[in-house]
Homo-oligomer: A and B are copies of this chain.
Amino acid sequence: MSDDTSSTLHERVETEVPSHLDVTDVQYEGPDLVIYTETPREFADDGNILGQLARSLQKRVTIRPAPGTQSSQSEADAKIRQIVPDDAEIQSLEFYPTVGEVLIEAEKPGLVIGRRGRTMREITREVGWNPEVIRTPPMESSTVANVRSFLTQERGERRDFLTDVGEEIHREPEEEVDWVRITTLGCCREVGRASFLLHTPNTKILIDCGDKPGAEGEVPYLHVPEAAPLTSIDAVVLTHAHLDHSALIPLLFKYGYDGPIYTTEPTRDLMGLLTLDYLSVASKEGRTPPYESTQVREAIKRTIPISYGDVTDIAPDIKLTMHNAGHILGSAVSHFHIGNGFYNVVFSGDVHYEPTRLFNGAVNDFPRAEAMVMESTYGRRNDYQTDSEESEANVHEIIRETHEEGGITVIPAFAVGRSQELMLVLEEAMAEGKIPTMPVYLDGMIREATAIHTAYPEYLRDGLRERILHEDENPFLAEQFAQVDGGGEMREEIASGEPCVILSTSGMVTGGPIMSWLELLGPDSENTLLFVGYQAEGTLGRRIQSGRVEVSLGGRRGPDRLTLDCRIESVSGFSGHADREGLEKFAGEMNPRPETILCVHGDDRATDQLSSALYQKYDVRTHQPRNLETFRFP
């Protein structure tokens, strides 16, 4: 396809399409091929034509009615409501004449789509508009709502952007692909500032662009000649939304990048939530944020969402497929197929190989995979975690005992990932009577992050998705969960009230509402402070965990120093990262097993010990890269 000019492309499509179907125009929009037609209804009638076209053209294909072939908006509105069963609970219909689309928001999108898309096709046939269906989030998320409304408002500009990107992707590659290179811009022999450059003779792809928590000055090496100028980068791929992978994505736009970001929809939304929070934290701490919220919006506008498993052209010589990574919502193992059969590279991103309550285990099965860049967070010889059943039993026991004492259990937790996992643990334990039913208060961004999870149930573990989608048993909506939205007054009320559980950010006790909880609950011996996540060197969480009871809260208000008298406990086993065994299995059971593995995203010892182990155990070539190196394949 790459040698098609616009007119030969049109001809090519014409020959693939039965003669009774009209092809008015053919255009690329981002990775997609869009066919405009005077006969949208006839296209809709032929249930197989889209699949056939996609296969023969090797493209994702979209059909759009040519202008003037549709029913009027009011006619179409009525007709659609008539076609779609009432159970779908349509919330709104919005018409976009420029693209010939109607956006249908419904409680049950499956019923709008119909079996194998039958209802969607009927809509097109009857009204000539192309339906796009979205789910009404089961929990209201301001992030999801804002992103959707922003994208709606920017639809025109976004369409021009997609056309430009489409032309870039489908341009004729200038050079034969006879090498693939990976340059390490960060995240090697360290955890933080994830950033890699994947290049071929034609294309440069930037993978992730994160910050390094606790070391603000240490940013990815974006100014080296391989990456500079940023306008020379063809595409950015984001593996997941945690700040050590995403924080500096908006910065790219400040420095002149204006191309696409490929990632999953939930990662796009979580990136928006977390980077805006990153800016606000920087302001509060008196640091100058490296970019502004306009750049966050720019990043969202230029994101081209990818669903797990979709093979997507992102450059003339690169196809990207994202797969579930099991780490957090929307996290992706990213597979790059390069140069039409020449080479394949997998970036693990952060992975959890075994299934958790929230997610299926990371995918490690690919058509081909010669090289892998893999995380090594828990790569040390002894980095084994307690299994989840034992961990959960420990949590139950601690909460039960605290409840018996009439105390409150407060758990510092990261907003995205660990909090939701704990919510599921607590909901089940209460349902099964393993701990008494009591209120679970969510403080900080936890509720919002949870709402984003419920907006994308297809990214959750199979059983959990079923509960959310089909059985109205959404565990996140259990009535014991309550948002702390009344500020200091509400916190004081909760602290002086009945036994309960509190989940609060930040996860390492470095700021945020957890500081207030420490002040309110720490001095009383019947309460418990329960750590379930990794506490990094240098954080207050780590100091408390190591036995320090005289703590400073920063002194912005209330007492500057505080003596903790509460019970202090730590339970491991709730990490979003595979432990050493999980990492070994992820690589060892990978199909096919890669020839070369680069161990990154771990400290010196972790990457060293993991790369030695993988080499010895599986006879693969392993490396322990340093930042600023370039590896060449094959």
Binding site for B on A (CB under 8 A): 179, 181, 183, 199, 204, 224-228, 232, 626-632
Interface of A, helix, strand, loop or mixed by DSSP? loop
Q: Name the distance in Å between A204's Cβ and chain B's nearest Cβ.
A: 8
List, in ascending order, chain B residues with CB within 8 A of A227's CB.
225
Tell me the bound Cα distance from A629 to B631 in angstroms.
5
Q: Assess the B632–A629 pair: CB atoms within 8 A.
A: yes
- In the complex, the answer to whether A179 meets B628 with C-beta atoms within 8 Å is yes
> Hey, which chain B residues are within 8 Å of A628, CB to CB?
179, 181, 630, 632
A627: chain B residues at CB < 8 Å are: 632
Chain B residues near A228 (CB-CB < 8 A): 225
Establish whether residues B630 and A183, one from each chain, have CB atoms under 8 Å apart when the complex forms: yes
Cα(A27)–Cα(B74), bound, Å: 82
Kindly state the separation between the CA atoms of A226 and B626 in the bound complex, as whole angstroms.
17
Residues from chain B with Cβ under 8 Å of A629 in the complex: 181, 629-632
Q: How far is the CA of A199 from the CA of B226 in the complex (A)?
A: 12
Shortest Cβ distance from residue A233 to the other chain B in the assembled complex, whole angstroms: 10
A467 to chain B, nearest CB (A): 49
Q: Which of A179, A227, A630, A631 is the most central at the interface, judged by chain B CB atoms within 10 Å of its CB? A: A630
- A632: chain B residues at CB < 8 Å are 626-629
A-B contact pairs, 18 of them (CB 8 A): A179-B628, A181-B628, A183-B630, A199-B225, A204-B225, A224-B226, A225-B225, A225-B226, A225-B228, A225-B232, A226-B226, A226-B630, A627-B632, A628-B632, A629-B629, A629-B631, A629-B632, A630-B630
List, in ascending order, chain B residues with CB within 8 A of A232's CB. Answer: 225
Name, among A179, A225, A227, A228, the residue most crowded by chain B CB atoms within 10 Å (CB to CB): A225
> Nearest chain-B residue to A184 (Cβ)?
B632
Cα-based distance from A276 to B352 in the complex (angstroms): 62
Further pairs besides A181-B629, A204-B225, A627-B632: 17, Cβ < 8 Å? A179-B628, A181-B628, A183-B630, A199-B225, A224-B226, A225-B226, A225-B227, A225-B232, A226-B226, A226-B630, A626-B632, A628-B630, A628-B632, A629-B629, A629-B630, A629-B631, A629-B632
CB-based nearest B residue for A232: B225
Cα A3 to Cα B89 in complex, Å, equals 72
The complex places the Cα of A626 from the Cα of B179 at a distance, in Å, of: 11
A624 CB → nearest B CB, Å: 12
Q: Which residues of B contact A199 (CB under 8 A)?
A: 225
Contacting residues, chain B, for A204 (C-beta < 8 A): 225
Which B-chain residue is minimally distant from A627 (CB atoms)?
B632
Nearest chain B CB to A622 CB, angstrom units? 14
Which 4 pairs of residues, A with B, have the shortest CB-CB distance?
A630-B630, A628-B632, A629-B632, A225-B226
Residues in B whose Cβ lies below 8 Å from that of A631 = 629
List, in ascending order, chain B residues with CB within 8 A of A630's CB: 183, 226, 628-630
Question: What's the Cα separation between A183 and B628 when bound, in Å?
Answer: 11
> CA of A181 to CA of B628 in the docked complex: distance in angstroms?
8
Chain B residues lying within 8 Å of A179, measured Cβ to Cβ, are 628
Shortest beta-carbon distance from A227 to chain B in Å: 8
What separation, in Å, do the CA atoms of A314 and B226 have in the docked complex? 23
Collect the chain B residues with CB atoms within 8 Å of residue A181's CB: 628-629
A204 to B228, CA, bound (A): 15
Tell me the bound Cα distance from A204 to B199 in angstroms.
21
- Across the interface, name the chain B residue whose C-beta is closest to A178: B628
- Bound-state Cα–Cα, A627 to B629, Å: 13
A225: chain B residues at CB < 8 Å are 199, 204, 225-228, 232
Q: How far is the CA of A226 from the CA of B183 in the complex (A)?
A: 11
CB distance from A205 to the nearest CB of B (A): 13
Nearest residue, chain B, Cβ from A181? B628
Instruction: Name the B residues within 8 Å of A626 (CB-CB).
Output: 632
Most buried by B among A224, A227, A627: A224
Bound form: Cα–Cα A627–B627 in Å: 19
Rounded to whole Å, the gap between the CB of A611 and the closest CB of chain B is 14
Nearest neighbor of A626 in chain B, beta-carbon distance: B632
Q: How far is the CB of A35 from chain B (nearest CB, A)?
A: 37
Q: How far is the CB of A187 from chain B (nearest CB, A)?
A: 14
In the bound complex, CA of A225 to CA of B233 (Å): 11
A631 vs B179: C-alpha distance when bound (angstroms): 17
Closest B residue to A226 using CB positions:
B225
A632 to B226, CA, bound (A): 14
* Closest B residue by C-beta to A632: B628
- Within the assembled complex, what's the spacing in Å between the Cα atoms of A629 and B226? 12
Name the residue on B nearest A183 (C-beta): B630
Kindly state the separation between the CA atoms of A256 and B560 in the bound complex, as whole angstroms: 64
CA A632 – CA B623 in complex, angstroms?
A: 14
- A91 CA / B224 CA spacing, docked (Å): 53
**What residue of chain B has the Cβ atom nearest to residue A199's Cβ?**
B225
Alpha-carbon distance between A632 and B181 when the two chains are bound, in angstroms: 15
User: How far in angstroms is the closest Cβ of chain B from A270?
Assistant: 32
Contacts of A226 in B (CB 8 A): 224-226, 630
